[in-house]
């Protein structure tokens, strides 16, 4: 299947040949659907907090978190092309029409007509040239293409999202730094952020950082460190044709594609931090809404710190020289079941103390994540479920609808019962009780990837995406779900979202 040039190409990327063969096997067999057993709901898999609970966890975070190394991790590599899908379609219809016919066409399309009516309110309006004298097609070309703003090919992090005045207009990148400054700083007044970006956009991010960081440092008194990384080439995946044979470029070389955001588990693994907050680049808010977002970041951070401390306490007992009493082992089981939501095996009651101790060590000795969940109001994306793994272990997982077999009436009914949605609002602990970093790739479930059909040069191909970062890439972590207000979730999926109430300063 592979010739000598192929093997050299694979070797240069740092991908073991066994991994390539595993990918081809996945293309042939596909990935099994997620075996969801029930949705996580308030009181059963999702923590719902009282005002007193919230204040307690706020206090835990505010009093203790600055003593830890805190990092804000933001996946920011994708281009914003899909954000402007409607504008691209409009431009295709407009570019060959006369100016008068363009105006008529726009007036017949309510969404596009509203876009042009609201254009002066958009945060990038001041960057456009000669708008009053331009046709609709010329304006869209200025927005999407280069020369012009080139927004269609820029990453979302470098797009203007919020307009406070004609002079102050902020990118989503800047809003992330400003929000992180409100809860991620250490007692030494240091603030750290890490963004994963594409190589093509690195200089743009560096230029933006050079512009905004000194300003934020002056305003806050913090020392802000922003660094970047790329998706690693060894996480790329082989493309195949529809016969599951390696897809080849015109020069005969193998085609490799980025492995999806799940490949970023390697980037996350490389961070030297105690506590890592993760959120998407397009989920930001203007200043007037940052307070509630920061409050709940601190709440879930406080939960993480408290749970982490308890786990470390138990692990020291379990690995120490002194014998642990059965009653203490039972209290650890209760903690996992009632506090973490771990599904305890039925056969546990028949185990002796030694077997129970080993199960507790295996179960507790893992990375921990606390995930905010919002009430589902129709946004697309994953949700919280109890899932049975291939080994039979049932655990809390974030599952995308595309992972569920909707032709199975039982699974479709479970999906319909789901009440909450994953806004990608996570805080993670990636060190063990000895202070040593976990090797995060050990906790990935490789059976949870995706296969999609694409094309290149008019030829169909199949692409493989690795298990999603907060899906299968964290499948074997200890997971807690916490209900947070929907006001903490304000994504920008289309350009029109910039005119939603939550994005108007």
DSSP state letters, 111-135: HHHHHHHHGGGSTTGGGSS-GGGS-
Please check the confidence at residue 380 and state whether its pLDDT lies above 60: no
Does 503 reside within a domain? no
Question: What whole-number distance in Å separates Cα of residue 254 and Cα of residue 20?
Answer: 11
**Same structural domain, 330 and 234:** yes
Q: Would the pTM count as exceeding 0.75?
A: yes
**Same structural domain, 264 and 319:** yes
* Tokens (6 digits) for 188: 């030494």
For residues 262-288, give the mean pLDDT: 95
- Of the listed ranges 107-111, 191-195, 386-390, 485-489, the least confidently predicted one is 386-390
Please check the confidence at residue 130 and state whether its pLDDT lies above 80: no
**Same structural domain, 113 and 183:** no
Please check the confidence at residue 379 and state whether its pLDDT lies above 70: no
Question: What whole-number distance in Å separates Cα of residue 496 and Cα of residue 505?
Answer: 16
According to DSSP, the residues that pair with 35 across neighbouring strands are 388
Q: With DSSP H G I counted as helix, E B as strand and the rest as coil, what are the percentages for the chain, rounded to 5?
A: 45, 20, 35
**Same structural domain, 399 and 432:** yes
**Same structural domain, 46 and 174:** yes
* pLDDT tier for residue 378 given thresholds of 50, 70 and 90: low
- Is the distance from CB of 76 to CB of 281 less than 8 angstroms? yes
**Same structural domain, 316 and 351:** yes
Please check the confidence at residue 468 and state whether its pLDDT lies above 70: yes
pLDDT tens figures, 217-271: 999 999 999 999 999 888 999 999 999 999 999 999 999 998 888 999 999 999 9
**Same structural domain, 229 and 87:** no
* pLDDT tier for residue 128 given thresholds of 50, 70 and 90: very high
The residue written with tokens 């012009």 in the block is: 148
Question: Under 8 Å CB-to-CB from 494, ≥6 apart: which residues?
Answer: 83, 84, 85, 86
According to DSSP, the residues that pair with 395 across neighbouring strands are 387
What is the pLDDT of the chain when averaged over all its residues? Answer: 94
Q: How many domains does the chain have?
A: 2
pLDDT tens figures, 33-68: 999 999 999 999 999 999 999 999 999 999 999 999
Does 129 reside within a domain? yes
**Same structural domain, 397 and 467:** yes
pLDDT tens figures, 299-316: 999 999 999 999 999 999
Does 159 reside within a domain? no
Question: What whole-number distance in Å separates Cα of residue 2 and Cα of residue 384?
Answer: 41
Gyration radius (Cα) of the chain, Å = 25
Does 500 reside within a domain? no
* Tokens (6 digits) for 401: 């609808």
* Tokens (6 digits) for 111: 């969404």
CATH number for the domain that contains residue 178: 3.90.550
Question: What whole-number distance in Å separates Cα of residue 124 and Cα of residue 235?
Answer: 35
pLDDT over 90 percentage in the chain? 83
Per-residue CA distances from 269 to 75, 107, 363, 367, 471 (Å): 14, 51, 20, 11, 16
According to DSSP, the residues that pair with 397 across neighbouring strands are 385
**Same structural domain, 202 and 129:** no
According to DSSP, the residues that pair with 193 across neighbouring strands are 72, 226
Cis peptide before 147 (omega within 30 of 0): yes
* Of 240, 232, 234, the residue nearest 2 (C-alpha): 240
Question: What whole-number distance in Å separates Cα of residue 183 and Cα of residue 181?
Answer: 6
Does 41 reside within a domain? yes
State residue 346's pLDDT score.
Answer: 82
State residue 308's pLDDT score.
Answer: 97
**Same structural domain, 429 and 479:** yes
* Tokens (6 digits) for 468: 């999603």
State residue 201's pLDDT score.
Answer: 95
**Same structural domain, 326 and 260:** yes
Concatenated DSSP letters of 74-112 = EE--SBSGGGGHHHHHHHHHHTTS-HHHHHHHHHT-HHH
Does 64 reside within a domain? yes
Question: What whole-number distance in Å separates Cα of residue 196 and Cα of residue 258?
Answer: 13
Write the DSSP symbol of residue 224: E
* pLDDT tier for residue 457 given thresholds of 50, 70 and 90: confident
For residues 348-374, give the mean pLDDT: 94
For residues 374-402, give the mean pLDDT: 86
Q: Which domain holds residue 123?
A: 82-153
State residue 487's pLDDT score.
Answer: 94
- Is the distance from CB of 19 to CB of 232 less than 8 angstroms? no
For residues 448-453, give the mean pLDDT: 88
- Is the distance from CB of 163 to CB of 505 less than 8 angstroms? yes
Does 269 reside within a domain? yes
Question: What whole-number distance in Å separates Cα of residue 401 and Cα of residue 378?
Answer: 13
For residues 398-422, give the mean pLDDT: 92
Count of residues in the chain? 505
**Same structural domain, 170 and 258:** yes
Cα 406 to chain center, whole Å? 24
Bridging pattern class, strands 368-375 and 425-429: antiparallel
Please check the confidence at residue 376 and state whether its pLDDT lies above 90: no
* Tokens (6 digits) for 379: 């946004």
State residue 381's pLDDT score.
Answer: 64
Concatenated DSSP letters of 16-38 = -HHHHHHHHHHHHH--PPPEEEE
Between 258 and 159, the more confident residue is 159
Q: Is 139 helix (H, G, I), strand (E, B) or coil?
A: helix
* ∠ Cα 213 219 222 (to 5°): 65
């Amino acid at each position: 299947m592979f010739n000598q040039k192929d093997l050299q190409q694979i070797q240069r990327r740092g991908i073991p040949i066994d991994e390539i063969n595993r990918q081809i096997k996945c293309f042939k067999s596909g990935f099994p659907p997620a075996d969801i057993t029930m949705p996580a709901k308030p009181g059963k898999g999702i923590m719902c907090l009282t005002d007193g609970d919230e204040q307690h966890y706020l206090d835990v975070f505010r009093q203790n978190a600055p003593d830890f190394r805190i990092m804000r991790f933001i996946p920011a590599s994708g281009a914003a092309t899909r954000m402007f899908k409607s504008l691209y379609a409009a431009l295709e219809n407009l570019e060959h029409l006369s100016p008068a016919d363009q105006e008529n066409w726009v007036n017949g399309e309510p969404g596009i007509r509203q876009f042009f009516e609201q254009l002066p309110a958009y945060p990038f309006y001041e960057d456009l040239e000669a708008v009053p004298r331009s046709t609709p097609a010329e304006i869209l070309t200025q927005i999407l293409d280069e020369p012009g703003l080139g927004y269609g090919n820029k990453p979302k992090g470098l797009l203007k999202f919020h307009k406070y005045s004609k002079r102050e207009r902020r990118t989503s990148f800047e809003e992330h730094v400003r929000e992180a400054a409100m809860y991620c700083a250490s007692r030494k007044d240091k603030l750290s952020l890490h963004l994963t970006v594409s190589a093509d956009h690195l200089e743009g991010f560096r230029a933006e950082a050079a512009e905004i960081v000194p300003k934020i440092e002056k305003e806050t008194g913090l020392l802000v460190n922003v660094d970047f990384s790329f998706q690693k080439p060894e996480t790329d995946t082989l493309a195949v044709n529809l016969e599951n044979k390696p897809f080849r470029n015109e020069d005969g070389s193998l085609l490799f594609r980025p492995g999806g955001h799940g490949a970023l588990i390697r980037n996350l693994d490389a961070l030297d931090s105690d506590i890592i907050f993760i959120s998407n680049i397009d989920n930001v808010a203007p200043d007037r809404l940052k307070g509630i977002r920061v409050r709940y970041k601190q709440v879930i951070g406080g939960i993480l710190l408290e749970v982490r401390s308890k786990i470390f306490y138990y692990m020291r007992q379990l690995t120490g020289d002194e014998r642990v009493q059965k009653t203490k082992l039972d209290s650890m089981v209760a903690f996992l079941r009632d506090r973490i939501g771990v599904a305890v095996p039925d056969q546990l009651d028949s185990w002796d103390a030694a077997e129970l101790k080993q199960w507790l060590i295996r179960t507790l000795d893992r990375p921990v994540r606390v995930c905010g969940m919002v009430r589902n109001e129709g946004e697309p994306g994953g949700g919280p479920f109890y899932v049975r793994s291939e080994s039979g272990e049932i655990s809390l997982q974030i599952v995308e609808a595309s992972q569920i077999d909707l032709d199975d009436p039982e699974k479709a009914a479970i999906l319909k019962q789901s009440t909450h949605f994953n806004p990608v609002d996570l805080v993670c602990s990636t060190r063990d009780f000895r202070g040593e970093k976990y090797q995060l790739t050990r906790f990935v479930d490789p059976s949870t990837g995706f296969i999609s059909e694409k094309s290149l040069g008019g030829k169909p191909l199949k692409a493989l995406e690795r298990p999603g970062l907060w899906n299968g890439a964290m499948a074997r972590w200890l997971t807690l779900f916490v209900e947070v207000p929907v006001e903490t979730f304000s994504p920008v999926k289309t350009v029109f979202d910039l005119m939603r109430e939550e994005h108007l300063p």
